[in-house]
């Protein structure tokens, strides 16, 4: 359930691993799902093998929603090394809790996203 009043954002993820000499960029999207109480900001890389990143935020704080959106976009687009590994370990970005959704195909993704937004 994409939120009617939130845009889908086309962006890019910076891939920078400690062992890699080069930095590469991959296409990504940020979209917002919602239920009665929460917004769920979903960061989705277009390439296979990348887990989805989901931030849950109360619908009662638009300011916090836009702060989290900005933090997530800048973090994923920035040159921090091994950022996905850090997210798997820490489950947070600058005080914003994130849920990592691993999936192998579209059906599994749909099911896991549905489970995450309940």
Residue 2 resides in a domain? no
User: Does 3 map to a domain?
Assistant: no
Cα distances (angstroms) measured from residue 110 to each of 6, 41, 102, 105: 20, 15, 11, 9
Q: Is the pTM of this model over 0.85?
A: yes
Question: Is residue 109 over pLDDT 90?
Answer: no
Per the structure, the complete domain to which residue 111 belongs is given by: 9-116
1 is a domain residue: no
Residue 25 lies in a domain: yes
pLDDT score at 18 = 75
Torsion of CA 94, 42, 49, 111, to 10 degrees: 130
Kindly state the percentage of the chain with pLDDT values over 90.
36
Residue 24 lies in a domain: yes
**Is residue 4, in this structure, part of any structural domain at all?**
no
Structural domain count, the chain? 1
Q: How many CB atoms lie within 10 A of CB 60?
A: 9
> What is the reported pLDDT for 1?
66
Residue 110 domain-assigned (yes or no):
yes
Residue 65: alpha-carbon gap to chain centroid: 13
Domain annotation covers residue 57:
yes
Give the model confidence (pLDDT) of 33-83 as tens digits.
998 899 999 999 888 778 889 999 988 888 999 999 999 999 999 988 888
């Amino acid at each position: 359930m994409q939120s009617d009043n939130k845009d889908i954002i086309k962006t890019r993820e910076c891939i920078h691993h400690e062992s890699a000499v080069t930095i590469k960029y991959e296409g990504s999207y940020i979209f917002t799902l919602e239920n009665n109480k929460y917004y769920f900001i979903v960061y989705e890389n277009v390439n296979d093998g990348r887990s989805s990143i989901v931030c849950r935020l109360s619908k009662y704080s638009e300011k916090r929603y836009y702060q989290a959106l900005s933090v997530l976009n800048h973090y994923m687009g920035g040159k921090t090394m091994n950022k996905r590994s850090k997210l798997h370990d820490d489950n947070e970005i600058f005080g914003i809790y994130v849920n990592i959704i691993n999936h192998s195909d579209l059906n599994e993704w749909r099911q896991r996203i549905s489970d995450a937004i309940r």
